[in-house]
Amino acid sequence: MNNITDILTFTAPISPDARRRAEQLCKQQATPEKGERVRLNTLSVSFVNLYLQCMGFETDLENSDSWNPVQQTFLDVADLSLKDLGALECRPILEGEKFVYIPEEVQSDRIGYVVVQISKSYREAKLLGFVKEVTSDLLPIRQLQSLEDLLEYLEVEIELIRSLHIPNKTLVRLKQWLDNIIEAGWQEVETLLGTQANLPAWSLRSEAGAFLSRGKLIDFGILTEQAVVLVVTLPQDNEEEMDIIVEIHPKSGQDYLPSNLQLMVLDFEGGCVMEAQTRSNNKNIQLQFSGELGERFSIKVALGDVSVVEDFIIC
């Protein structure tokens, strides 16, 4: 069990904008007691939002219940929505308090609980630590884990979510590409690769308009800070069987792909039917196969424990 004096904390001024919003919401409440609770909740959420943004996490303050004046009126809520993760509860306490109050209504559907100490002047705050879950209305401050543990916990959760193969809800319909109906995110290869698109392979492929290519930027997220370009190339004819070329290229401005990057073709049930992997100094990797009209398949691009899957159908 940690002692609060021995773990990492974070202290900083509360922004004037946060104080103004907290004051406005405070004045809208029916009683002074409710107004003070809403003020502290608002300051707490705003402070955690600033901290996590500085740490590189994507937050969604506007879609948090705590940022909704109606929800603040009827609930005791101090949540901050984090992209892809869920709601993090940001509970305030005042200086000198040894316990933080956790309302029953927020003791579920939270990815964690951060405790924020608000100064009596409302001008400064300190992040004291966090816990993943609570089992009672009162949480002793001495039971908090450090902010280092919070950041590591959130990073691991993001990595786990992104490593899961959750099928893409949008099937890419390859035959429609021939009619210039292109799904969002797929772009001209030259747009993504710049001068790399003038390599001989592209020139041969585009002779007499024989092939159609589209690319998509694959971003592996904040944990790897890596991105590559997935390119899919099709013939311009309408035969029952379609030849498909799948390639991975470095994004514009990069010379080589990351080492141990995997490119896989998956069948309809998610089984790997062919794959390629980069070694050192690979400028691209490629797979080529054929599919019949109506056939579904997926392309999986994996780097370490993080993977991205795109789903296709030949129709």
State the total domains in the chain: 2
Handedness of CA 16, 17, 21, 22 (dihedral sign): negative
Q: Are residues 14 and 76 in the same domain?
A: yes
CATH number at residue 255: 2.60.40
The per-residue pLDDT for 168 is 47
The per-residue pLDDT for 128 is 95
Q: Which residue has tokens 């990351």? A: 258
Q: Are residues 109 and 155 in the same domain?
A: yes
Residue ending a domain, choose from 163, 184, 206: 163
Amino acid identity of residue 27, one-letter, is: K
Q: Are residues 139 and 180 in the same domain?
A: no
Q: Are residues 25 and 96 in the same domain?
A: yes
The per-residue pLDDT for 203 is 46
Structural tokens at position 157: 């959760």
pTM, 2 dp:
0.54
Q: Are residues 189 and 123 in the same domain?
A: no
Q: In what order do the strands lie in the sheet with 306-313?
A: 172-173, 306-313, 296-303, 261-266, 272-277
The per-residue pLDDT for 79 is 95
Structural tokens at position 191: 């747009």
Residue ending a domain, choose from 115, 140, 163: 163
| CA 90 to the chain's CA centroid | 20
Q: Are residues 191 and 146 in the same domain?
A: no
Q: Are residues 208 and 280 in the same domain?
A: yes
Residue ending a domain, choose from 130, 163, 196: 163
Q: Are residues 9 and 139 in the same domain?
A: yes
The per-residue pLDDT for 161 is 67
Q: Are residues 142 and 180 in the same domain?
A: no
The per-residue pLDDT for 195 is 60
Q: Are residues 10 and 157 in the same domain?
A: yes
Tens digit of each residue's pLDDT (9 = 90 or more) over 159-197: 776 655 444 457 898 988 988 889 888 999 888 887 655
- Non-local (6+) Cβ contacts of 102 within 8 A are 89, 91, 113, 134, 136, 137, 138, 139
Structural domain boundaries, residue 65: 4-163
Concatenated DSSP letters for 106-152? GSSS-SEEEEEEEPTTSSEEEEEEEES--SSSEEEGGGPBPHHHHHH
Q: Which residues of the chain have pLDDT under 50?
A: 1-6, 165-168, 198-200, 202-204, 206, 208, 223
Q: What span, in angstroms and rounded, lies between the C-alpha atoms of 13 and 288?
A: 57
Structural tokens at position 94: 């005042």
Share of the chain above pLDDT 90, in %: 57
Q: Are residues 179 and 153 in the same domain?
A: no
Tens digit of each residue's pLDDT (9 = 90 or more) over 128-139: 999 999 989 999
Q: Are residues 78 and 141 in the same domain?
A: yes
Tens digit of each residue's pLDDT (9 = 90 or more) over 72-81: 888 899 999 9
